[in-house]
Structure 1
Amino acid sequence: MRVDPPPVAEILEVAASTMPLPERARALVASVGRWLPADAIWLTLSDPGSTVSATVGSTGLDQSILDYLDRPSVAREIQLAELNQNRPPVTVTELPVPVDELPTWADCLLPAGFREGLGVPLCEPGGPYLGMLSFFFATGEAPSSAVRDHLGEIAPLIALGLSPLRSLRAVARLVAGAVSGVVLLRNGTSHALPGLDEHPLLGPGSPVVDLARQSLVAGQVFRSFLWPEDGDPGTTGHARITVLAATDAPDFVLGTLVVTPGADCQGLSPRELEVLGLLVDGCSNQQISRQLGVALRTVAAHVEHILHKLEVPTRTLAAVRAEREGWHVPPTSRSRYP
């Protein structure tokens, strides 16, 4: 099979467009379909580390085949064939298992009249496995090495156009001063946002990440709060934590967490920020006293100072303003009041 070089400029234009994800996916399938004549094309996005996947674009496949391809068993076959990682395009006849012993082919694709296939994993450079772009052919003729080389060249461009990191990076750039960030996935993992630095508050087991994930799972679309920059509650420097829910992204993506160092704390001391976080959480003075291990009169003094600095008359208004504007350090699930 011989084809001309792929339409790189056209693919880049679609990948960089502001179209919603489903429209971009369909446009990319149409573009590569005009370049590489195949009897059918299947484009799927997957949840890294699980067997959840969904078709986002296709041609030449009826609904019954698409329903079969979206089964978790098909995603498991992709994992077993080690296709869920960054690698060159591969034909079905190059897999270590005969085609008639692969359930997806034996039970679905061969009965549908397909005899050969060419697939390439989609991985944005530096990012996780995103999904597969597959071509199916009614003849048993394998695509040429030149075709596979071309497909390998454009696969990262297609991945860039479909990557949830694409829209999340754009949103993260709207947070003034943000220097670090991660994408939070529904399966409990996270991935660094390319172009931003690493930060100790975003590492494994971080209470900041736990709080962000809890907020997104609870349905919050935006949350902002403060956190000690070195993780020590007694530190004077705080970072602003901004949590943003994903919009133009697959369901397996929860959202983004970004860190902005050197936050304005409105003159509140580290202890007052902790007390304010407990006020936001609905705690009484007695509960705050037990949580922080300080006397009731000390808590009362902190509350009085908070009301003065935030220029509000009541603790309720202080909590509302702190929650709305992110001027508090929230309690973690591991340090809840009794």
Structure 2
Amino acid sequence: MSARAIISEITGIVAAPEPLAVRAEAVLTTLRRRLRFDAGRISLHDPERRLQPTLASCGYDQRLLEYFDGPELVHNVELLGLHRRATPVRISSLPIRPAELPLWAEHLHPAGFREGIAVPLRTTDGRYFGVFSACTESATPICDTTCGFLARTSTVIAHAVDPMRTIAAMAGLVTDAVAGVVLTRGGNIEALPGLPGHRLLAPGSPVLAEAISCYRDGDSRAGFLTPTRPPDPPGYLKVTMLTCGEQLPHHLTAIIVLHSPGDLRHLSHREMTILGRLITGGTVEQIAAALRIPQSAVNAALEQARTKLGARSSAAAVMRAADLGLYLPPPPVPGCVASDSALRLDGTFPTT
């Protein structure tokens, strides 16, 4: 199979609407026909847990796979400098002696492998996210032609198995998006391809804290409103949180996107605030005390919201607001976020 045919086939895999693991298996199968290796693996880097778990593999026994998915593999990657390299590295031309690489000396060589190659996977903008590696039982050194082929092909391989592609496609389901980030398992954020970041989604912001809370509560999808901040004109943005799903064996867990609020059903700021506090478990008495208004005012606002939402009861209005994301969450507990990001609850927009 020619190099051109291999690249063409992998390009077809890139375009296929398949889950990430299925695409990775297809890439591995295609490469094995061209390179004729005895065992191979595609892995994704998890920087928070310092692991590089397997996405797809062939030819390795269970003991080796368990080692690959354990904490020592990243140390080997760093010894080789794969996370900094842009080109493949062969066992026969390692930058260190093979005996100094635990992966090879203690695991792959005793398992009968005599040559191997590792190819760092990077996006077109240089982001490292994993490795394609292959081993042979033959001691014949992998030739320069094969190294050159893999160097040329590494970008398209990376494009086929980059989890951010799947995540960006999921984010594309949210119309009118103006900004977004990706939430990690450790509560950190990463850039979302195709969308800029936003200070409302910055670490420590109340908007991000609420979205993280929705994710940790087990919601697969959640939405709520947030007031805009200067220099944007007064108004609202919708915040939508989507979990990445189990099909991504990675540290990336959820997408958080800002977009147009859509039809607000003429709800007032106070009504959306009261709905938000009811959704999060507040009582009429507690809400009245927090907003420093009479309980009768809370009930009147709730009745207005019920009418605007077309609900048969106050309870149904609260459920509908939750389903539609037409509510303003309560501000976080003081001390959890910066004080200048607290929301006003008196029906006006912040001016600073």
Which band: TM-score by shorter chain? 0.7 to 0.9
- The number of residue pairs the alignment matches comes to 332
The answer for the alignment partner of 1:186 in structure 2 is 185
Structure-to-structure mapping, 1:137-286, within 5 angstroms: 137-230=136-229, 236-247=234-245, 248-286=247-285
AA paired with 2:119?
A: V
The answer for the alignment partner of 2:328 in structure 1 is 329
Contact 2:48–2:251, Cα closer than 8 Å, also in 1:
no
Deviations 1:220-244 (A, max 9, x none): 1111111112289xx8411111111
The answer for the alignment partner of 2:109 in structure 1 is 110
Q: Secondary structure of 1:334's partner? A: coil
CA–CA separation in structure 1 for the residues paired with 2:189 and 2:152: 27
* CA distance 1:164–1:293, change in 2 (3 Å): farther
Deviations 1:43-97 (A, max 9, x none): 1123233223322222332222222222111123224543235622222455443
More deviation, 156-165/74-83: 74-83
Contact 1:266–1:310, Cα closer than 8 Å, also in 2:
yes
The answer for the alignment partner of 1:17 in structure 2 is 16
The answer for the alignment partner of 2:37 in structure 1 is 38
Q: CA deviation at 1:108?
A: 0.5
CA–CA separation in structure 2 for the residues paired with 1:137 and 1:318: 64
Q: Secondary structure of 2:266's partner? A: coil
More deviation, 239-248/327-336: 327-336
Contact 2:55–2:249, Cα closer than 8 Å, also in 1:
no
* CA distance 1:207–1:76, change in 2 (3 Å): farther
Q: CA deviation at 1:140?
A: 4.4
CA–CA separation in structure 1 for the residues paired with 2:51 and 2:331: 30
CA–CA separation in structure 1 for the residues paired with 2:29 and 2:237: 45
* CA distance 1:289–1:126, change in 2 (3 Å): farther
CA RMSD of aligned residues (A): 2.7
Contact 2:45–2:250, Cα closer than 8 Å, also in 1:
no
Deviations 1:307-332 (A, max 9, x none): 33324354322210100111001124
Q: CA deviation at 1:275?
A: 1.7
CA–CA separation in structure 1 for the residues paired with 2:94 and 2:218: 42
More deviation, 255-264/77-86: 77-86
Contact 1:6–1:32, Cα closer than 8 Å, also in 2:
no
Q: Secondary structure of 1:273's partner? A: helix
Contact 1:48–1:129, Cα closer than 8 Å, also in 2:
no
Q: Secondary structure of 2:177's partner? A: coil
Contact 2:51–2:73, Cα closer than 8 Å, also in 1:
no
Q: TM-score if structure 2 supplies the norm length?
A: 0.84
Q: TM-score if structure 1 supplies the norm length?
A: 0.87
Q: CA deviation at 1:29?
A: 0.4
Q: Secondary structure of 1:42's partner? A: strand
CA–CA separation in structure 2 for the residues paired with 1:199 and 1:298: 35
